[in-house]
Structure 1
Amino acid sequence: MDPLVLGGIVAISTILVLFSGVSVGLGLLIVSTGFLLVFDGLRSLELLPEILFGKLDNFALLSIPMFIIMGASIASTRAGADLYEALERWLTRVPGGLVISNLGACALFAAMSGSSPATCAAIGKMGIPEMRKRGYPDGVAAGSIAAGGTLGILIPPSVTMIVYGIATETSIGRLFLAGVFPGLLLVSLFMAWSLYSTWKYGDRALLASTTYTWKQKFEILPRVLPFLAIIVGVLYAMYGGIATPSETAAVGALLCLLIAMIIYKLWNPKDLWLVLRDSTKESVMILFIIAAAGVFSYMLSSLYITQSIAEWIATLDVNRWVLMGAVNVFLLIAGFFLPPVAVILMAAPILLPIITTAGFDPIWFAVILTINMEIGLISPPVGLNLYVINGIAPDISLKTILKGSLPFVACMVIAILLLCVFPGIATWLPDAVMGQAL
């Protein structure tokens, strides 16, 4: 059978299996095993255990559970509420200041936790009721938190970037640095829209805002600054050549646990057990998907599907930006239905040779891919962040949350276009800190 036709059958089969309700990791194993058995015989199955466990034999993977523990220990405390309150006290008299403080809190909490749902939950529980109480429209209140939560997979340290680095054998340090300026760009675009929408609706919220004394503004900072210091310290240790990403993640996780215990009195063994239990469950889920995706990639390569698609793309007489546009459409559609980790692990083996052949930087492409995944987090039918917000504020309909999120989707599309015109937004910092990639 022609490998391209076979590739189409594999794609359709994978979609059907994943839509059946099975987990992503198990679905990938079922599809991989079935096609290898049919087209390559029983002998191919002998290698599957070695491939499955061999994919996990990577020291860099240790950073995933460590960063997850780091985020879980922060999410289990009032750190998000304190971060929100600190920004709200400092920005309360700025037009649209409450929306801006929520977005700023989302960005900082995302940097600390690396999790989009955790960011939505932590900041949204405080921010949404407060914005509604002060006269902001429901769509603005819910949409800003849903969009701000997506920053968790872009602003370092990001588990999604770690997964991309492992899947494509790309420097995780460079990927983290590449996400800094695009993350700040997105925050700036989100805040710009918030200022415009506040002006458009009339800043009724400013009339209802509370005035804080300088003492009240400064007294909240000691509860927030230690966590921010950990983030700065982790990044400094990583880029200062002091430690590897896995080592810095382990130290960061330990320090976050200690600060949660000291500042927020997280002494109860049951609470600590919940942090470790939830972190273990999430880590195992991600690692299982990574292992299953390794088998899936082996199946695609063994049946010559990946190579045939790359060769077919190379023969197309199209402008490379037309090609990139098609890739973006594919990523958007995939992000509507699948979680970011699954999309990266399934698509990277196919897309990487295509984009490098077309002359695109894989570090730059990681940022483009991640922003596409962010759009998927606030777009139906899956739109995880939409459901998280709906769970926090069940009286706000999903339709209202979605309408409030759409302007922020437009901001993400603008960010992608700016990155295409000015790729240095993503590549300058990695090159400046770590030197030109070979």
Structure 2
Amino acid sequence: MDPLILSAVLIAGLLLLLASGIWVALSLLAVGLIAMVFFTSAPSGLVMATTVWGASASWTLTALPLFIWMGEILFRTRLSEDMFQGLAPWMARLPGRLMHVNIVGCGIFAAVSGSSAATCATIGRMSLPELRRRGYDDRMSIGSLAGSGTLGLLIPPSIIMIVYGVAADVSIGRLFIAGVLPGILLITLFMGYVAVWSLLNPSRTPPGGPDMAFGEKLRASKRLIPVVALIAAVIGSIYAGIATATEAAALGVAGALILSAASGTLTRTSFRDSLMGAMVTSSMIAFILAGAAFLTVAMGFTGIPRALAQFINDLGLSPMALLAALTVFFVLLGCFLDGISMVVLTTSVVMPMVQAAGIDTLWFGIYIVLVVEMAQITPPVGFNLFVLQGLTGRDILYVAKAAVPFFLILVLAVVLITVFPGIVTWLPTQMSNR
């Protein structure tokens, strides 16, 4: 069978399996096995065993459960409770005032959790009732949370970056460093939009409270400062070349345990719950990665990646045209899948196209994270919109309309890193030159 026709058949089969409710990992393994048994002469059982073992035994993958465990530990501290109290005094004088707490709070929690949905749900559960009580515009409060909740995918240490790094064989440490400037760019764009909107709609922003002295602000933030310091230490150790991503993750876990013990929230129950939560999430992701690795190898045996790369070359698409097509593809895919599943499902098909087009795989990693972020809040059925619907009780169309300006800001961010790729590559280059 022609490799392009075969790829269409396999993709259709995969979508059918996913639509039937079968686990993503099992669907990937099943499609890979079908491709190996019916369309190649390779020993499918032997290839599956060696590939799954090789994908599971990767030392690079060790960082994944450690970062997830770090997030689980800090999630069970009083971090979310202290977030609003600690950030509010610093935001009270900015145009938009406490709506910036959504954005900065998501930026901080993103560095703890590495998950978009978890960031959105945790910060929303804490901030939305308080913003409503103080009379802030509900639509802007929900929209700013929808947009900044996606920072969970971009701000390092990001789970999806680890997944992409393993799947695409790209340095995870360099990916983390590459995500810093785009993350700051996004936070700045979100805060800038909220500030401009507030200046244009002064009647919809409540007046600020009394100004606080610098010392009072520090005292209000005292419980938040250690967490920010831990995050800076984890990312800084990678940037300085002191630690690998795995070693930095171990540092993060040790620091999280110390902070949890110091705050009085480290109990036998919380320790067990954090460990079990990390184990469940890590096992799920590792299982998906193993299935994706086998599917990638199976597709290699069938000749599909080579045929797709040749097909792209024959079309004569410029790198920009390819990126535009991939952006639309990922946004549509985000209507049905979460970010991690999107990356592992598509890497084996997309990477040959990207490499054939001469696109830097490090830059593409940050691009794909940004596009997946867009997909998470794509009206009307982005994954994070359902999280917000359950959190607010609002109609899904109301939530989608609130998210539209922040979706457009994410589009602007993708355009900016495409026109100015140095936003992504400058910091990793500096690290390499040290």
8 A Cα contact 1:297 1:346, kept in partner? no
**Map of 1:328 onto structure 2:** 327
Shift of 1:71: 0.9
The one of 425, 429, 432 aligned to 1:431: 429
Task: Give the TM-score normalised by structure 1.
Answer: 0.94
Aligned Cα root-mean-square deviation (Å): 1.8
Shift of 1:384: 3.0
The one of 412, 419, 422 aligned to 1:421: 419
2:358 aligned counterpart, secondary structure: coil
User: Mean alpha-carbon deviation: is it higher for 24-33 or for 267-276?
Assistant: 267-276
* In structure 2, distance between residues paired with 1:268 and 1:129: 28
Structure 1 residues 228 and 409, CA, compared in 2 at 3 Å: closer, same or farther?
Answer: same
**Map of 1:144 onto structure 2:** 144
**Map of 1:386 onto structure 2:** 385
**Map of 2:13 onto structure 1:** 13
**Map of 2:255 onto structure 1:** 255
Query: C-alpha deviations, 1:259-281, integer Å up to 9, x for none?
Result: 11211x12331222111111110
- Unaligned stretches of 5+ residues in structure 2: none
Matches within 5 A, 1:39-58: 39-40=39-40, 43-58=43-58
The one of 410, 413, 417 aligned to 1:412: 410
Name the amino acid aligned to 2:298: M
Shift of 1:161: 0.8
Matches within 5 A, 1:21-32: 21-32=21-32
Aligned residues: 433
8 A Cα contact 1:95 1:203, kept in partner? no
2:352 aligned counterpart, secondary structure: helix
**Map of 2:396 onto structure 1:** 398
* In structure 2, distance between residues paired with 1:386 and 1:88: 25
Task: Give the TM-score normalised by structure 2.
Answer: 0.95
Shift of 1:282: 0.4
* In structure 1, distance between residues paired with 2:372 and 2:92: 32
Matches within 5 A, 1:328-407: 328-379=327-378, 383-394=382-393, 396-407=394-405
8 A Cα contact 1:4 1:305, kept in partner? yes
Percent of residue pairs identical: 36
Query: C-alpha deviations, 1:16-43, integer Å up to 9, x for none?
Result: 1111111111111121122322223683
Shift of 1:81: 2.8
Query: C-alpha deviations, 1:407-430, integer Å up to 9, x for none?
Result: 100000001111111111111111
User: Mean alpha-carbon deviation: is it higher for 89-98 or for 65-74?
Assistant: 89-98
Name the amino acid aligned to 2:54: G
Shift of 1:115: 1.8
2:176 aligned counterpart, secondary structure: helix
- Unaligned stretches of 5+ residues in structure 1: none
**Map of 2:212 onto structure 1:** 213
* In structure 1, distance between residues paired with 2:179 and 2:425: 9
**Map of 1:312 onto structure 2:** 311
Shift of 1:343: 1.9
8 A Cα contact 1:95 1:206, kept in partner? no
Shift of 1:351: 2.0
**Map of 2:266 onto structure 1:** 267
Shift of 1:391: 2.6
Query: C-alpha deviations, 1:126-183, integer Å up to 9, x for none?
Result: 2111222233332211121121111011011111111111111111111111111111
Query: C-alpha deviations, 1:91-117, integer Å up to 9, x for none?
Result: 113220111122111111111221222
Q: Which runs of 4+ in 1 moved over 6 A?
A: none
Name the amino acid aligned to 1:392: L
8 A Cα contact 2:417 2:424, kept in partner? yes
2:274 aligned counterpart, secondary structure: helix
User: Mean alpha-carbon deviation: is it higher for 9-18 or for 380-389?
Assistant: 380-389
8 A Cα contact 1:76 1:275, kept in partner? yes
1:92 aligns with 2:92: yes
* In structure 2, distance between residues paired with 1:318 and 1:354: 10
8 A Cα contact 1:134 1:205, kept in partner? no
* In structure 2, distance between residues paired with 1:157 and 1:295: 26
Shift of 1:192: 1.6
1:94 aligned counterpart, secondary structure: coil
* In structure 1, distance between residues paired with 2:42 and 2:354: 34
Shift of 1:381: 6.5
**Map of 2:70 onto structure 1:** 70
Structure 1 residues 297 and 101, CA, compared in 2 at 3 Å: closer, same or farther?
Answer: same
User: Mean alpha-carbon deviation: is it higher for 212-221 or for 173-182?
Assistant: 212-221
Shift of 1:54: 1.3
Structure 1 residues 35 and 381, CA, compared in 2 at 3 Å: closer, same or farther?
Answer: farther
User: Mean alpha-carbon deviation: is it higher for 189-198 or for 170-179?
Assistant: 189-198
* In structure 2, distance between residues paired with 1:35 and 1:318: 28
Name the amino acid aligned to 2:287: F
2:209 aligned counterpart, secondary structure: coil
User: Mean alpha-carbon deviation: is it higher for 278-287 or for 336-345?
Assistant: 336-345
Matches within 5 A, 1:80-119: 80-119=80-119
**Map of 1:164 onto structure 2:** 164
* In structure 2, distance between residues paired with 1:99 and 1:54: 46
User: Mean alpha-carbon deviation: is it higher for 421-430 or for 383-392?
Assistant: 383-392
Query: C-alpha deviations, 1:358-415, integer Å up to 9, x for none?
Result: 2221111111100111112223565332222223222x22221111111100000001
**Map of 2:194 onto structure 1:** 194
Name the amino acid aligned to 1:163: V
User: Mean alpha-carbon deviation: is it higher for 190-199 or for 424-433?
Assistant: 190-199
Name the amino acid aligned to 1:87: L
2:335 aligned counterpart, secondary structure: helix
